[in-house]
Structure 1
Amino acid sequence: MLYIRALEMALEKAGICFDISVKRSGIDHEQRIPGLMYADHIVITANNSGELQKLLQLCGEIGEELKLEFSHEKSGYMAFNDRQGEPLTIQNKQIESVCKYKYLGVWFNTGHHYLKKQEEILMQKARRNSAVIKKQGVMGVQYV
């Protein structure tokens, strides 16, 4: 996955990053990231739509250099506290605005209670898996 590393380096070099700084015990811990990347799954982060478009342009250019095409059908963008202006594009194809997006099994959404929604999804999975385990446990007892 060398292409991911080339893309990651280009995004970092651009210097456009999303601020995820926190304060712990009264001390500021500055942290900024250009995005999240795993295999061929990429999330680009920016503080506003203008910065995001610049990063998308950069991704498109790197992709073209590496003979890679981004799937605009599988891509989407979410805006938090930013008015939606011009449509965003990558490799001259428009990207759809979405209210929710799944990345590596985690749902992101633009609602005020996005963490609560993720917790509901996890609890639903936990209940389902618990029922499977209980059923397997009962079946195990029958065979002993």
Structure 2
Amino acid sequence: MPKIDVNQVAEILKRNQVDPALLRQIVEEMNLVTQADSEADENKPPPVKKQFVILISDPEDRLPKGDFAGWVLQIPENESVATTQDRIFRGTYDYNASKKGRLYPAKTVGEALENVAAKYFKEADLWVKTKTPVLMLRTNNEIPKE
């Protein structure tokens, strides 16, 4: 529903020659309703900030115990994931060849994923979902019975 200012409604009612007593009553009721809405908005808790996490299944305990950071990317479903780095490189080469890229070239994969515009990666069929690295967690892929 579109929002409209109470003063605009009052002006419209005046132009249509509504009785001044009725006009005053309508405006007062509208002010009470908008005041109640604004109080409800003030009492609402702030939204919870969320972050992406990459969960790695490691049931055979092959990964080292340390923490990892990485990026969440998307490529076409029918393509091999082994081509992902080549796609990053291709998009970064195109960016570095542009005017802005010549001024501020991306020298690492991290810089490329954070700074290169999405249009360069889109041409390489790559979509970056997180520009900043996110933490990856390990799991043994089992639910405890307890």
Judge same fold: TM > 0.5, yes or no: no
Higher strand share: 1
The structure showing larger relative contact order (alpha-carbon pairs under 8 Å, at least 6 residues apart) is: 2
Higher helix share: 2
